[in-house]
Amino acid sequence: MTVHSRVMKTFSLLTFNCFGTPGIRTSARLGRLAQKLNQSSYSMVCLQEVQTNRYRSFLTSACGDQYPEQAYQPFIHAPKGGLMTLSQHPLVRQEFILFQKRGLWYTPAVTDWILHKGILVTETRVADLPIIILNTHLTANYTADWRSTNIFARQERREIEQVAAVVNAQPTDALVIVCGDFNIPRGTWLYDLLLSSTDLVDPMRGDTRPTFRPFRGMGSRYAVAIDYALYRAPSTLKPEIDSRLRFQGTERINGRDMHISDHVGIETRLSWQPPPN
């Protein structure tokens, strides 16, 4: 065994719903996001709501030097699911898994249906450790009612069950990180279902600070924690975890004070000591 082989290894990730919907200030907001990402040097960045191919192309170009690897599933008007993953590490696998039941086309969730929501799976390696990232964005709950009888909650349950099945299918010797905008608050039966049906751990469990900023007139019941970065580690790995919220304050962008997104990001940093050779 060499001393070098026992040096602590690290992996950092940001998950962020970037609110990349077409709008008069979207390009400016995404421009500031690109600046922030290039200054932060994460191992991987998982974005949701990249809702046009123009925004996807912009982020690819603006962040290409810092994050030379990008994963997304090409589609007609935007990456499928609005999902995009940027990586400093080479990607050895990428796959998009469409939600089998994609939403309720006869409700406001038709926008989720059109976007073809699902799970963007990428795999990289740090030393000899496989790291598998599941970047996802579940159907929105337009009523902020997460009771089991609610029509949107029932759809979210079907998507959670599919996410859980994908998690459980990953190799047990891999570090698995599941992140994104789940549109379900901590403490609900849907959140409990996700954790109980997998071995996923929420490093911020119990933290009820909202990760979504409701628009004017939406009501305070929408201001809840719905974005997560969860992980499942191999039994031989005991990582140290540091998770925190990012992009909580406003930025001065084109002479205006504004938030980069209607969500805040979640930064997660993991460190571990490799087992002896």
Instruction: Report the 3 state secondary structure along 155-186.
Output: HHHHHHHHHHHHHHCCCCCCEEEEEEECCCCC
- Which tens digit of pLDDT belongs to each residue from 242-264? 999 999 999 999 999 999 999 99
Output 104 or 148, whichever has higher pLDDT: 148
Q: What is the count of structural domains for the chain?
A: 1
- Which tens digit of pLDDT belongs to each residue from 26-59? 999 999 999 999 999 899 999 999 999 999 999 9
CA–CA separation, 83 vs 65, rounded Å? 20
pLDDT at residue 141 greater than cutoff 60:
yes
Let me know if residue 230 belongs to a domain.
Answer: yes
Question: Within the chain, how many helices (H) and strands (E) appear?
Answer: 5, 13
pLDDT confidence band for 11 (50 / 70 / 90): very high
Which letter does DSSP use for residue 93 in this model?
A: E
For residue 218, give the 3-state DSSP assignment.
coil
The CATH number linked to 197 is: 3.60.10.10
Let me know if residue 277 belongs to a domain.
Answer: no
Q: Considering only 40-49, 112-121, 147-156, which range has the smallest mean pLDDT? A: 112-121
Give residue 114's pLDDT.
82
Q: What value does the mean pLDDT take over residues 10-17?
A: 98
Give residue 112's pLDDT.
80
Give residue 230's pLDDT.
98
Give residue 1's pLDDT.
41
Give residue 219's pLDDT.
81
Give residue 59's pLDDT.
98
Mean pLDDT, the chain, rounded, equals 93
* Boundaries of domain holding 226: 4-272
Predicted TM-score (pTM) of this structure: 0.95
Let me know if residue 190 belongs to a domain.
Answer: yes
The pair phi, psi for residue 211, each rounded to 5°, is -110, 0
Question: Within 10 A of 158 (CB to CB), how many other CB atoms are there?
Answer: 16
Let me know if residue 213 belongs to a domain.
Answer: yes
How distant, in Å, are the alpha carbons of 70, 134, 172, 213, 256 from that of 92? Answer: 12, 14, 17, 36, 41
Which letter does DSSP use for residue 112 in this model?
A: H
Q: How far apart are the first and last CA of the chain?
A: 6
Percentage of the chain exceeding pLDDT 90: 86
Across-strand partners of 10? Answer: 271
